[in-house]
Amino acid sequence: SAVISQKPSRDICQRGTSLTIQCQVDSQVTMMFWYRQQPGQSLTLIATANQGSEATYESGFVIDKFPISRPNLTFSTLTVSNMSPEDSSIYLCSVEEGIGAGGYTFGSGTRLTVV
């Protein structure tokens, strides 16, 4: 299965600043997915990142707040912009292991605390 390297693993940031999270996959994948997991809650899909096109955002998430880059088939970044304490969460990237076959592989997550 794919191996995903995600960094940073954690960060503490000042409100009003931005943080960019990186995910590197050891194989080429068409789509990469970005999730948020707020404290004590489940995972919520933020957006789907396709190489060569704009990311597709879920309801409640906008590009100005969460810009995504997908420069090639193995790499993606998610930026959390103009942060507030409400953005404190774990952010995870993910790829699908074969359509309908092997589940999804997740990065280890980025624990973001905004103060």
Partner 1 sequence: SQKIEQNSEALNIQEGKTATLTCNYTNYSPAYLQWYRQDPGRGPVFLLLIRENEKEKRKERLKVTFDTTLKQSLFHITASQPADSATYLCAVNDYKLSFGAGTTVTVRA
Binding site for partner 1 (CB under 8 A): 1, 6, 33, 41-45, 48, 58, 92, 94, 97, 100-109, 111
Closer CB to partner 1, residue 5 or residue 82?
A: 5
Q: How far is the CB of 16 from partner 1 (least distance, A)?
A: 27
Q: How far is the CB of 103 from partner 1 (least distance, A)?
A: 3
Structure tokens that stand for 81 in this block: 């912009």
φ, ψ dihedrals at 41, nearest 5° = -120, 175
Structure tokens that stand for 78 in this block: 């998610």
Closer CB to partner 1, residue 5 or residue 17?
A: 5
Q: Are 35 and 44 in contact (CB under 8 A)?
A: yes
Q: How far is the CB of 34 from partner 1 (least distance, A)?
A: 12
Q: Which SS3 state, helix, strand or coil, does residue 86 take?
A: helix
35 membership: H or E segment, kind and range: strand 31-37
Closer CB to partner 1, residue 16 or residue 93?
A: 93
Q: How far is the CB of 91 from partner 1 (least distance, A)?
A: 10
Closer CB to partner 1, residue 16 or residue 62?
A: 62
CA atoms of 51 and 69, how far apart (whole Å): 8
